[in-house]
Amino acid sequence: MHLLIRRIDLFLIGLLICCIPFMFHLNLIIEWNVSYGDMLMVAILIWLIANKENNAIIAIVIRKYYLIILYSLLLIYCCILSMVNYFTNIFVDIPYGISSVVKLTINFLYIIVFLIFLEKYKEALLQHILRWWKYTAIAISIICIGSVILYRMGIENGLTLDGRAQATLNDPNLAALYLIVSFSIIALSSIYLQKRTVINSSMVIVLVALFSTASRGGTLSIMLGLSFVLYLCFIAGRIKELILFICVIGIFSSVMYWVHSTSDVISFAIERVSNIGSNGDGTSYRIFLWKSALEMWAKNPFLGVGIGQYISYSPEIFGYSLTNIPHNTYLSFLSETGIIGFSAFIWFPVYLITKLIVGLISYGEKKYFYLLIGLIAVAIQALSINIENIRFIWLFIAISYVVVDKSYIPYTNQ
């Protein structure tokens, strides 16, 4: 019986990992960007709670991983607290505000499900998740590359946006973010599965797919993240890792140059990235949105204008309604939840990145290296898009958290 439950559990969590990047729009008062994994996650949570043997495990999870649980609940609480300003605002979009809290709650439930399974099956569960994530990322990468090739051939397929790959994530920037996270996950999978080399063809496929999204923020963020981590390796005297990655970058650049010179599949992406800051690229409008967010925060420094109220509050400042959110995760929290909500959001990622930096400099383990690349890249891309409601980001943060905790997850230093 226990063997059967184990097989069901591992199958369900693996299927959940596969379903997360498959998104669709659901019109329910407002438009929701929903993952197929959301419905499966709820079913898995019911399955876990229904099994009374898991009650003791849930209690252990609450005690053992109180830090990330506290972080999630505190963030949700501060977002709800910001709703006090709903009573003072002239215009209020209550459904959108409630949906923002609901999305954060869903992300919290993903973390809980992951932690329960992790405590139940230990490192075997982590390896299982990393393996399924790797296979899913490869599939998404192939879809990205293939959809762009078909688009260039004149075949519309619904998986691109104006020639930019978006696969099943309904947005090129979201697809780029998923691929960035997957880059670190695949590397981590190789480490925990004790592969001879961490860098492999799967990572190259993911990087090529990343270029096919033509996401300027995504491309720049992983380049800056990699540069930052390489700099840390240099100052820490990790010359071996430094030389290895310089060689890998050289090989990857050569492959990209060959692809670019023999076809136009990624030429559009390269051109789009190189034109950052030019007239008509949208940068000036995003800067306007960022300045607007700062103005809103200045008028409501402690609690903000209320979670989800950036657009609805804009007529009170500008006399007309903005049509876009800030496209900046940090400024969204700052303008909508004030310094209280912003602090509740930022402290845990800062804590996690700090631990990774200290771990990389002190021990030089490869897991720190690759996780730091992903987290730094995500932190940078959060400057240009809103990532607070993206499921796989929260799961990546949870994975990073348990991997950094060496008292629980043993490591393999290769």
pLDDT means per 10 residues in the chain (414 residues)?
85 95 86 90 90 88 93 97 91 91 95 94 91 96 92 86 89 94 93 79 88 86 85 74 70 64 59 58 80 93 94 89 90 96 96 91 82 94 91 95 67 40
Question: What is the residue extent of each domain of the chain?
Answer: 2-276+291-404
At 141, give phi and psi (nearest 5°). Answer: -65, -45
Distance CA 8, CA 207 (A): 33
Distance CA 413, CA 411 (A): 6
Strands (E), 291-406: none
The HSE-up count of residue 182 (CA atoms within 13 Å, CB side) is 32
Q: What is the pLDDT of residue 303?
A: 94
Pairing of strands 23-28, 160-161: unpaired
Residues in the chain: 414
Distance CA 181, CA 285 (A): 27
Containing 354, the helix (H) or strand (E) segment is helix 329-363
- The 3-state DSSP class for residue 109 equals helix
Q: What is the pLDDT of residue 54?
A: 86
Enter the pTM of the model: 0.91
Distance CA 178, CA 141 (A): 10
- Give which of 242, 181, 178, 246 is closest to 213, Cα–Cα: 178
Q: How far is CA 199 from the centre of its chain?
A: 21
Distance CA 313, CA 93 (A): 9
- Give which of 77, 107, 110, 90 is closest to 307, Cα–Cα: 77
Kindly state the tokens that stand for 254: 């050569």
